[in-house]
């Protein structure tokens, strides 16, 4: 009888230890970055725009995290032209403001040891682009307004985002982070397969800081016999 009790206790000890071990809590984090978006980086006519970016994420385990981002850039295009017709001098002014909101939903996989200060990540997921355009148009002929108008419209575009990331832990909660992402536009698929690949690609670079909340894993105590 005593042997049976000892055997049962030995067999149940792993289950008892597993039950007593608290599961790792999800660790939320936030980030702020400088965003550099380049349209069609392999095209000679590409343009680069700077703006702020913010991230909200959750570490599901030491190697896997899910994050939602938001980046904003804007540009202004102004056109002024004049030409002469049979009715006189015609002057045209066109002022366009384009606001771009980028919303990536990325899965972050840590490829290096979670316990170190340096972390190399792989990021992948979909990204939604929102383009908000405001346009003012004015045309005058011999100083008299012949045409004028104001319009606004919103367009959306989807892309597949892939790229590496690097993080350096300044403290257990504060990290420096940088990502180099490639965007493959999906809007218009499969008709875009006939277009050059360079016309479907763009880049998105981010550099900033991240702050982790919640209860972090305490450092491991030294092994027996070690100081």
Residue 147 confidence (pLDDT) above 90: no
Summarize pLDDT for 168-213 with one digit per residue, the tens.
999 989 999 999 999 988 876 665 566 666 667 888 999 999 999 9
Q: Which DSSP state fits 187?
A: T
Contact 168, 117 (CB under 8 A): yes
CA atoms within 13 A on the CB side of 151: 7
Q: What are the residue boundaries of the structural domains of the chain, listed by start?
A: 25-212
Summarize pLDDT for 13-39 with one digit per residue, the tens.
544 444 444 566 899 999 999 999 886
Considering the segment(s) 25-212 as one domain, its CATH architecture is Beta Barrel (2.40)
Please give the mean pLDDT across all residues of the chain: 81
Q: Which residues of 63-84 are buried (b: 16+ CB within 10 A; e: fewer)?
A: eebebebebbbeeeeeeeeeee
**3-state SS assignment for residue 200:** helix
Of the ranges 34-38, 159-163, 177-181, 219-223, which one carries the lowest mean pLDDT score? 219-223
Summarize pLDDT for 115-128 with one digit per residue, the tens.
889 999 999 999 99
Supply the pLDDT for residue 17. 47
Residue 103: CB atoms within 10 A of its CB come to 14
Supply the pLDDT for residue 141. 82
Summarize pLDDT for 53-72 with one digit per residue, the tens.
999 999 999 899 999 999 99
């Amino acid at each position: 009888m005593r042997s049976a009790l000892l055997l049962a206790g030995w067999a149940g000890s792993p289950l008892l230890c597993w039950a007593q071990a608290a599961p790792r809590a999800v660790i939320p984090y936030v980030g702020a970055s400088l965003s550099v978006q380049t349209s069609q980086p392999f095209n000679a006519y590409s343009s680069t725009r700077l703006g702020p970016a913010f991230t909200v994420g959750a570490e599901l385990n030491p190697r896997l995290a899910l994050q939602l981002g938001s980046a904003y850039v804007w540009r202004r295009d102004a056109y002024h032209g004049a030409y002469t017709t049979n009715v006189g001098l015609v002057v045209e002014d066109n002022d366009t403001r384009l606001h771009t909101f980028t919303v990536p939903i990325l899965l972050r996989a840590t490829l290096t040891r979670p316990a170190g200060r340096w972390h190399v990540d792989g990021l992948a997921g979909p990204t939604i682009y929102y383009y908000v355009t405001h346009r003012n148009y004015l045309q005058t002929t011999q100083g008299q307004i012949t045409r004028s108008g104001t319009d606004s419209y919103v367009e959306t575009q989807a892309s597949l985002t892939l790229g590496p990331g690097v993080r350096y832990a300044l403290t257990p909660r504060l990290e420096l982070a940088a990502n180099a992402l490639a965007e493959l536009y999906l809007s218009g698929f499969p008709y875009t397969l006939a277009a050059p690949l360079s016309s479907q690609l763009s880049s998105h670079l981010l550099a900033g800081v991240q702050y982790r909340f919640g209860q972090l894993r305490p450092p491991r105590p030294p092994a027996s016999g070690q100081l």
